[in-house]
Structure 1
Amino acid sequence: MALSISQVSFEHHRTALGIGEASPRISWRFDGQVSDWHQDSYDIQIQRKGQVEDFHVNSPESVLVPWPSEPLESREQATIRVKSAGGKDQPSSEWSEPVSVEAGLLTTADWQSAVVVASDRPTEVNATHRPIYFRKDFLVDPDVSAARLYITALGLYEARLNGQRVGDHYLAPGWQSYTHRHEYNTYDVTDLLQDRENTIAITVGEGWFSGRLGWNERRNIYGDTLGVLCLLAVTNSNGTTTYIPSDDTWKSSTGPIISSEIYNGEVYDTRLEQKGWDSPGFDQSSWLGVRELNFSKDALAAPDAPPVRRVQEHKLVDVFSSASGKTVLDFGQNLVGWLRIRVQGPRGQNISFVHTEVMENGEVATRPLRTAKATDNLTLSGGHDVWEPSFTFHGFRYVQVEGWPAESSLDTDAVTAIVVHTDMEQTAFFDCSSPLLGKLHQNILWSMRGNFLSIPTDCPQRDERLGWTGDIHAFVRTANFLFDTGGFLRGWLRDARSEQKENNYSPPFVVPDVLGGSTATSIWGDSIVAVPWQLFQSFADKNMLQEQYAGAKDWIDKGVLRNEDGLWNRSTFQYADWLDPKAPADDPGDATTNKYLVSDAYLIHSTEMLANMSTALSLFPNAKHYAKSRSKLTKAFQDAWISQNGTLANETQTGLTLPLYFRLFSSPAQYDSAINRLVKIVKGNDYKVGTGFAGTHLLGHTLSEYGAADAFYGMLLQEEDPGWLFQVVMNGTTTWERWDSMLANGSVNPGSMTSFNHYAVGSVGSWMHENIGGLTPAEPGWKKFNVEVRPGGGLNKASTQFISPYGRVSTNWTLDESSGTHGCPEKQKKLSPNGPSATKHASHSEIATWSGGEEVCGGIGGA
């Protein structure tokens, strides 16, 4: 296969319409199979303003390379092609397919005269906000060459043009820390315009902007009035542009959406639909006017992340009766999204849909929802109704239905589950000979999908759904392998930094911060260091790292509350090893490992990461300073927590994992003894998990690093509680918040904090990718990478694929029992990797192939 360029992207955008960068960095991936190839130079061709510019650069770089031309102007479009050349006597690629990039509105002045408008309808400040319908009739000349709609809302919006939905974004503009960063979206609406008479129509719901957030039932955190801001720019073939802004000439009303809340669901009355409200010729005489809201455009920003989209339709699996005789739908998969309903019944009949994740005692289990109703209500028109909610989402597998009309069949044609999440590219694909491990990996994927909805949340179903910083800290290493998170997490980190500045240099527990401030706490606070560092390892984005460096530095220098030794003050609140499996149901923070041992260990690790950040950014005096600080803190940790013979104050799985993984012992003998004690504890616990948030994501990596991968295989394959496969054998289809969110007898954990869709324990995915799959980056961004497979656990084959910033990386191995013994002490089998794969320590600029097998213990060898 010839070498080719498979994808050209800008910054972290696969679709670069309305981006916020005037000089976007360019990346391209390679495809094909060429031995020992490396790029020597590249050519970029840019077509803009009717001119063609050619640039030749002698460089091996192909990820996030500098924009070579003059910066784009607002709304300017350019078309790009890329060609890559190899070294002497090596092939070159053909030109890539042309790809367009277009800047958004780069200054506040580019919004012309557009203002935020709200309805003249009185606002109910302390109640649910009824969605508002806005419309504007306008004329355009027939000779239109291009049209763009730039739009955001104080709330969530859906836009329509001449009766047609605009774009494929849902729950737009998503959730940001709106005070600091309020995203707008750009749509190409050229094909939706018609000659002369046109209508733009927009519905706005409360969403995260003014709806209820958190278990403390706070409302109107960002504002108490729903509004819309938009600008329609229509360009004619002669180059002139006409602007249709949101202003005081618009009209407003209410409609069939009575309420639509994130936690409680949507109430929709089809009898109130106004036919043709979104099209020209509609009688709007009964509609109200609008008023301008005071709104600063300074926070407006183009998105870094892809939008939330409808990514899948999931069919109904079963319809059955609950123990009390109520109708329940089973979709076979715990998912996040909503229902699409097709139904005919008596006018005025109400149907309710209660969404839950599990069944308990033969009924839908609503207790884990706490105060979230998670209920949609649909009132029928008397005709054929097709409906799905607009401004809510649910985490569910089961739906209890009441009021379904007898004349309609309740089947797969009538009800469909719509899966939604931020539409990141999936980059990981995993399979192995263990069906249970394969199912575990699928469950991890589903939990990430459900909780990467605009922000990285803890759970998608109850009265929470918040951006907990400790959760993403634990999961980010796995997340970056499963999906392309480069833009998603870069945007979220911008908010984290903004919120940190207003919280005494400490990242709050949740971002965006809707809890009203947080105290300084390890792990959760350490996310401001760990998440950007892990993101840098995956995507090598130095601009992102530079953006986040000040926040990491502020946390270590000013945010951490220290004692006289520089470690954590012993009076601070700490989550630490949250959800230790032995913690009581009513006290998830009551861990078996001392909170300050955990916190001190993470402080040292964060200090080391900050030193590494400094080196990566060529801030060498800072790197030296933090390396010295790390050494000093390590000595203080040893004095506080490690005895002279090397034992820990807490000899637990987490208590031993952290100093082993963070390298906090003082001698090789102490490391040898500590790993032996950790393995002994693991075996003595029947290979059951004994870690919470602090230790779970590091436990497997620690055991592997010290040659005890076999012990972790025993844990990974443990089917009893607490263990990963217990959730699988209990019919879980996502990963759970607690190891025993469901007890072995099928009842739901009695704790008030019990979710069946949390990604934190899914952090084991990184161990599966790096040990069963054998893939890790050897350099930031995967330009060079390691292949080191560790067979074990009775697995006889596995395949793993990863779409790196440079292209696809894959391993595919089998154990051939008939071929004699292999040097690995666990199984004494021969390792025979099959098919194309990359060499150990391979360079992605050297598109490499490798097959066959060099027999090495614990890994795949290569050239």
Structure 2
Amino acid sequence: MAVSLSHLSFEHHRHSFGIGETKPRISWRFEGTAVDWEQTGYDLEIARGPDGVPKVFNVNSSESILVPWPDEPLQSAEYASVRARAHGKEGRPSADWSEVYTVETGLLENDDWAGAIPIAADRDTEVDAAHQPILFRKAFDVNSTVASARLYITSFGLYVAEINGKRVGDHVLAPGYQAYNFRHVYDTYDVTDLVQAGGNVIGATVGEGWYAGRFAFSPSKPRNLYGDTLGLQSLLVITAEDGSKQTIKSDLDWHANTGPIITSNLYDGETYDASKEIKDWSSPGLDDSSWLGVKELSTAGGSIVSPDGPPIKKLEEVKPKEIMQSDSGKTVIDFGQNLVGWLKVTVNGPAGTNISFVHTEVMENGEVATRPLRSAKATDTLLLSGNTTQNWEPSFTFHGFRYVQVTGWPSTTPLNGDSISAVVVYSDMERTGYFESSHELLNKFHENVIWGMKGNFLSVPTDCPQRDERLGWTGDAHAFMPTSNYLFDTAGFWRGWLKDANSEQMKNGLAIPSFYIPSDDIADTERDRVRKPTAIWGDIVVGNPYALYQFTGDMEMLQEQFEGAQAWIDKGIPRNAEQLWDRSSFQFGDWLDPLSPPEDAGRATTSPHLVADAYLIQMTRYLSEISAILEKPELAEQYSTQRDELIAAFQAAWITPFDVIANETQTALSLALHFDLHKDEDARKTAASTLRSIIANNTYLVGTGFAGTQQLGFALTDINATSDFYKMLLQTTVPSWLYQVSMGGTTTWERWDSLLPDGSVNPGEMTSFNHYAFGSVADWMHQKIGGLAIGKPGWKTIKVSPEPGGNITWAKASYTSPYGNVYSSWTVEDDGFHLEISVPPNAKAEVTLPGNTEVETVGSGKNTFFVEGYKVPE
């Protein structure tokens, strides 16, 4: 019966250090198997600073997620120790005090930077060429014993910081990618252990990254999107034992130089010349009189803010699976997994040895396949100094790869798992969702979905990590968001990205979201795309806040995004006389429909404006619900009425003049069914029958692109045709989800047939092997096979309703909800269906068993259920 509290968190920060909120909302999870346990009140104990007297706040409330900060607001660079205790109903045990968790703010106001300015090397910057990374350095003395030290730092580019020759922190590709002209993130580090009494040096290397590198595909502006000069801004605050403070700020007293990194670009890779290393350059004692001076840097002008989401980190390491020879005799390493990151190399060889590494996702005709990279070189080059064993990995690039072609490797070092490995990087989100079943190929597909998400969640939700793109495409993010929210705690990640979406959308009152975010300073003039209203992609500003709210229950985030959501629906969408989408508007439509030709991914079998109109109706519904959640009843009614009017217009345009619907395709029928767009039950039954027939006649192969795939399984479940979707889900021929697995895929693909059955690469130019959008089907898998779905926002109520099929005899799913761990495990045995669930304290579950429509509500604890004689449908 014991109940305990764990994982106190502040806002949505995984690590509550250097946060930007002065009154951070507090959440806690529950552990334990107490039966029907509900919270009636809680206590929060807060102690401010190192010597603060604890204050206890008693609150009568059942809320345990995102509860208000009860004390006075935190000040800049202030920390507090917090613990919580929860009380159960009368006769139920209370949870004792949690462990103590700390929260610390960063620099909250511009004045807190104490005059630290952006600095750049006093040199001419490269013009229309790659920027060589810059070393920045400043020596300083500390005349007392250090009690604590904090480094606040960002760069105009990407940085790696050092103090006294030791690396600061474990962030990589910092400060990440954001809309720098609106929101420029800085990071906070505890560097107490690195600063010493006496002489010290702070240093940082800055590479071009997203800020000034070659990025996106504008022929008129291929680089320098936010600035053409690399720079640094930092403030080191040192607190002595007597409480006095010393600040070391970025100013004109720093020095700058170039070093061993010759170039380092996101697309093209890094060139490193070990002979140009400057020994101990960030340590005391170096004579830097020959180094360049620095100058003040004019920047893109965005506010310097603390991060909302987690930093990118090195989170895994993969050893080679096989080292082989290509057909032409080149050495190729197969890591066995398509991943995102870079190589970690240990090598010793003669001076001048030139080693190159070409990264690709697949092989074709016995060689590494570089064509899918388009113009990205994805090549790292290491030149050895010959003086010592070189331990090297790149600093300011990343690659999407499974295979690496190595040339120039010296014979003096064996090429094996001891000398080379792959480092996996992604945003440091907590893993929350798990799924497993009796179907091994399906399990492998689910693993591929996870790898696809890890490879594409680097500060922003990229569409692909390997070619000359890697942009935050909104249509992909819209499709995949529910799946991402289950697999990882994405709340902070999405919140930061959605802030950029809102800033860019509302600039100059346009109300139109970009195709990809950030994009405000990226022009795609060649194709006249980026800032045009288009469905699904633009709908991100409604659909994603709505989906994020369902998982988190965060009304504050929803309020932040309401202006943009309303502006999109009210002003951003060009309408025809019937208030549907204007027929001249540009649409991506059902992008990458399986029948779209390789040269034209948008030539789908479903009208793009039918797709756009269907999504408009669904977004209007969401906006009505959002208005109600935010206690705006008049707006809720207004958008509900608009939705009804739009449904009538949709029927007149797309359904009534036709036998069933204008396009009798899987996408058109699924959208109409799942979005409830039919005028009566007879029309709905006809559409349902037609959809099932189309699928059967297509031998249960997929017929949907980006617009239809996420909705297809739910549409079939809506019409009691879950068995049909199991047949689709478990197909292994193209186009199907498991085709990718049968072809050796280890991530999800951009095209259903990125790799053709004969092993050759699809001839289209968009042929990524790490594209998460079609992995959105995992949302259905979690809900209908695993049996776990949201009942009430934030998982206060859990829906447990597994629907077995496809001869799958067991499945289990778990999710770390804001209340604690949720678990469902079922098996079908000779005597029938067995289900075991676990519900965390302060939550409930609504359980529906297979073949039954009755809903049983249970409280916290473990429960078992049984359906006698149940057999798994084929």
Task: Sort the TM-score into its range (normalised by shorter chain).
Answer: over 0.9
After TM superposition, the structure 1 = structure 2 runs for residues 264-279 of structure 1, keeping only pairs within 5 Å, are 264-279=268-283
* Counterpart residue number, 2:762: 749
Q: Which of the residues 189, 211, 217 maps onto 2:191?
A: 189
What code does the residue aligned with 1:82 have?
A
Aligned pairs, number: 848
* Counterpart residue number, 1:798: 811
State the superposition RMSD in angstroms: 1.5
Q: Which of the residues 447, 463, 470 maps onto 1:465?
A: 470
Q: Residues 613, 646 of structure 1: CA spacing in aligned structure 2 closer, same or farther, 3 A cutoff?
A: farther
Residue-by-residue CA offset, 1:724-773 (whole Å, 9 max, x unaligned): 00000000000000000000000000001100000000000100000001
Residue 5 of structure 1 aligns to a residue whose secondary structure is strand
Q: Residues 721, 296 of structure 1: CA spacing in aligned structure 2 closer, same or farther, 3 A cutoff?
A: closer
* Counterpart residue number, 2:455: 450
What code does the residue aligned with 1:745 have?
D
* Counterpart residue number, 1:822: none
Separation in 2, partners of 1:200, 1:150: 12
Residue-by-residue CA offset, 1:571-611 (whole Å, 9 max, x unaligned): 11100100000000000000000111110111111111000
**TM-score, normalised relative to structure 1:** 0.97
5+ residue gaps, structure 2: 524-529, 848-855
* Counterpart residue number, 1:509: 515
Shift of residue 294, structure 1, vs aligned partner: 2.6
Shift of residue 841, structure 1, vs aligned partner: 1.8
Separation in 1, partners of 2:168, 2:350: 32
Q: Which of the residues 333, 341, 346 maps onto 1:342?
A: 346
Residue 783 of structure 2 aligns to a residue whose secondary structure is helix
What code does the residue aligned with 2:22 have?
A
Residue 561 of structure 1 aligns to a residue whose secondary structure is coil
Aligned 8 A contact 2:77 2:105 in 1: yes
Residue-by-residue CA offset, 1:618-670 (whole Å, 9 max, x unaligned): 01100011001111111000000012676101110001001101111000111
Q: Which of the residues 761, 771, 781 maps onto 2:774?
A: 761
Q: Which of the residues 791, 795, 799 maps onto 1:778?
A: 791
Shift of residue 51, structure 1, vs aligned partner: 1.9
Residue-by-residue CA offset, 1:164-211 (whole Å, 9 max, x unaligned): 100010000000000000000000000111111110010000000000
Q: Does 1:291 align with 2:295?
A: yes
Q: Residues 292, 434 of structure 1: CA spacing in aligned structure 2 closer, same or farther, 3 A cutoff?
A: same
Residue 502 of structure 1 aligns to a residue whose secondary structure is helix
Aligned 8 A contact 2:131 2:208 in 1: yes
Separation in 2, partners of 1:93, 1:598: 50
Q: Does 1:367 align with 2:380?
A: no
Q: Residues 767, 857 of structure 1: CA spacing in aligned structure 2 closer, same or farther, 3 A cutoff?
A: farther
* Counterpart residue number, 1:132: 134
Residue 337 of structure 1 aligns to a residue whose secondary structure is strand
* Counterpart residue number, 1:482: 487
Residue 51 of structure 1 aligns to a residue whose secondary structure is coil
Q: Does 1:524 align with 2:529?
A: no
Q: Which of the residues 392, 396, 404 maps onto 2:397?
A: 392
Separation in 2, partners of 1:600, 1:207: 39
Aligned 8 A contact 2:227 2:300 in 1: no
* Counterpart residue number, 1:214: 216
* Counterpart residue number, 1:404: 409
Q: Does 1:415 align with 2:417?
A: no
Separation in 2, partners of 1:62, 1:675: 42
Separation in 1, partners of 2:659, 2:796: 39
Separation in 1, partners of 2:668, 2:14: 43
Shift of residue 705, structure 1, vs aligned partner: 1.8
Aligned 8 A contact 1:506 1:559 in 2: yes
Separation in 1, partners of 2:124, 2:135: 14
Residue 191 of structure 1 aligns to a residue whose secondary structure is coil
Q: Does 1:171 align with 2:177?
A: no
Residue 778 of structure 1 aligns to a residue whose secondary structure is strand
Shift of residue 854, structure 1, vs aligned partner: 4.6
* Counterpart residue number, 2:853: none
Q: Residues 845, 240 of structure 1: CA spacing in aligned structure 2 closer, same or farther, 3 A cutoff?
A: farther
Q: Which of the residues 531, 535, 559 maps onto 1:546?
A: 559
Residue 352 of structure 1 aligns to a residue whose secondary structure is strand
Shift of residue 236, structure 1, vs aligned partner: 1.3
After TM superposition, the structure 1 = structure 2 runs for residues 605-620 of structure 1, keeping only pairs within 5 Å, are 605-620=618-633
Separation in 2, partners of 1:228, 1:799: 49
Shift of residue 296, structure 1, vs aligned partner: 7.6
Separation in 1, partners of 2:838, 2:864: 6
Separation in 1, partners of 2:59, 2:256: 54
Q: Residues 293, 447 of structure 1: CA spacing in aligned structure 2 closer, same or farther, 3 A cutoff?
A: same
Aligned 8 A contact 1:327 1:402 in 2: yes
Separation in 2, partners of 1:597, 1:375: 43
* Counterpart residue number, 1:322: 326
Shift of residue 94, structure 1, vs aligned partner: 1.3
Aligned 8 A contact 2:617 2:646 in 1: yes
Q: Which of the residues 699, 702, 706 maps onto 2:712?
A: 699
* Counterpart residue number, 1:199: 201
Q: Which of the residues 555, 579, 604 maps onto 2:617?
A: 604
What code does the residue aligned with 1:467 have?
G
Name whichever of 220-229 and 645-654 sits farther off: 645-654
* Counterpart residue number, 2:118: 116
Aligned 8 A contact 1:3 1:92 in 2: yes
Name whichever of 847-856 and 646-655 sits farther off: 847-856
Separation in 1, partners of 2:846, 2:485: 20
Residue-by-residue CA offset, 1:394-436 (whole Å, 9 max, x unaligned): 0000000000001110000010100000010011111100100
Residue-by-residue CA offset, 1:477-536 (whole Å, 9 max, x unaligned): 101001000000000000001111137211110100154242100010011100110000
Shift of residue 297, structure 1, vs aligned partner: 6.8
After TM superposition, the structure 1 = structure 2 runs for residues 570-589 of structure 1, keeping only pairs within 5 Å, are 570-589=583-602
Aligned 8 A contact 2:14 2:429 in 1: no
Aligned 8 A contact 1:209 1:221 in 2: yes
Residue 707 of structure 1 aligns to a residue whose secondary structure is coil
Q: Does 1:4 align with 2:4?
A: yes
What code does the residue aligned with 1:742 have?
L
Name whichever of 712-721 and 142-151 sits farther off: 142-151
**TM-score, normalised relative to structure 2:** 0.95
Separation in 1, partners of 2:871, 2:235: 59
* Counterpart residue number, 1:15: 15
Residue-by-residue CA offset, 1:544-593 (whole Å, 9 max, x unaligned): 10000000000000000110110011111100100000000000000000
Separation in 2, partners of 1:446, 1:358: 16
Separation in 2, partners of 1:800, 1:461: 31
Q: Which of the residues 299, 310, 316 maps onto 1:312?
A: 316
Aligned 8 A contact 1:141 1:196 in 2: yes
Separation in 2, partners of 1:204, 1:365: 31
What code does the residue aligned with 1:369 have?
L
What code does the residue aligned with 1:690 have?
G
Shift of residue 142, structure 1, vs aligned partner: 2.9
Q: Does 1:849 align with 2:867?
A: no
Shift of residue 848, structure 1, vs aligned partner: 2.7
Q: Which of the residues 350, 356, 361 maps onto 1:357?
A: 361
* Counterpart residue number, 2:44: 44
* Counterpart residue number, 1:825: none
Residue 571 of structure 2 aligns to a residue whose secondary structure is helix
Aligned 8 A contact 1:790 1:858 in 2: no
Name whichever of 213-222 and 15-24 sits farther off: 213-222
* Counterpart residue number, 1:234: 238
Separation in 2, partners of 1:473, 1:855: 41
* Counterpart residue number, 1:379: 383
Aligned 8 A contact 2:269 2:379 in 1: yes
- State the identity as a percent: 54
Separation in 2, partners of 1:844, 1:298: 50
* Counterpart residue number, 2:335: 331
Separation in 1, partners of 2:30, 2:279: 51
Aligned 8 A contact 2:822 2:837 in 1: no
After TM superposition, the structure 1 = structure 2 runs for residues 787-826 of structure 1, keeping only pairs within 5 Å, are 787-816=800-829, 818-819=830-831
